[in-house]
Amino acid sequence: MEEEYTGIVIRTIHFNESSEIVHVLTNQGIISVMVKGARRYKSHKLSFCIPMTKVSFKVTSSKISSLIDYTILNDYSIIKEDLKKNLWFSYILEIVNKLPDNSYYRNIYNLIDKIFELGSFNNPMLLIMIAQTKLLKIYGVEPELKKCVICGKPNLDFFSISNGGFVCNNCSANDKTNAKPYLDIRTLYYFDIYNGNLNDLSNIDLKDVFLNLKAYYDYYVDIKLHSLSSLII
């Protein structure tokens, strides 16, 4: 018995002397594939094990899926070979790899597949900020972006991380901050990545979005993200 999937390789871990365990994001979840003998001399399987590669593949339908055969659909060489693109896309794959169990893998796969497709010829930081904003929902911590999180009025005057959303002038929160970066985050959250025009997002201050999104993740999401400060200065 075998099973067939299409997906994007997000992580590879060495397993014994010559084998690899490869995590692949598919529309059915993150699948772990055992690739026996991947690092053996003249193995044809090593190119399956490189993160940021889109593959279709067949595995055994045993308890531990073992690779039978595969085809590379896209090696995203333009992303891999550009230092900035590579770092940004590694960053989002790290976030995807740490996602909690959920039932949204079809949406997650489509989103990540789309940003990789756009990644070769567009600003990687913009694409990753869109993805990271949308993934807040999967972590179950999406902020209130439409109204004051305390009283429900539609006034988006400030933002409060500890309250998880916008707050109006009349409501008090100890950590009220400038609403602007969160208005940008709201724009990214609702942006239609499949039909929208990325040029419509050219006024967004990505550095501000990155720093505020990081603060929000640090507060609510229990994962450690690598610092990308060298990329945003």
Interface residues with Zn ion (CB under 5 A) are 148, 150-151, 168, 171
Q: Is 45 helix (H, G, I), strand (E, B) or coil?
A: coil
Nearer to Zn ion, 157 or 208 (CB): 157
AA identity, residue 212: N
Instruction: Tell the smallest beta-carbon distance from residue 62 to Zn ion (Å).
Output: 56
DSSP sequence for 103-161: S-HHHHHHHHHHHHHHHTSS-HHHHHHHHHHHHTTTTT---B-SS-TTT--S---EEET
Nearer to Zn ion, 57 or 158 (CB): 158
Query: How many angstroms separate the CA atoms of 84 and 82, rounded?
Result: 6
Instruction: Tell the smallest beta-carbon distance from residue 212 to Zn ion (Å).
Output: 20
Instruction: Tell the smallest beta-carbon distance from residue 45 to Zn ion (Å).
Output: 58
Instruction: Tell the smallest beta-carbon distance from residue 163 to Zn ion (Å).
Output: 10
Nearer to Zn ion, 168 or 183 (CB): 168
AA identity, residue 228: L
Q: Is 209 left (phi over 0), alpha (psi -120 to 50) or beta?
A: alpha
Nearer to Zn ion, 96 or 171 (CB): 171
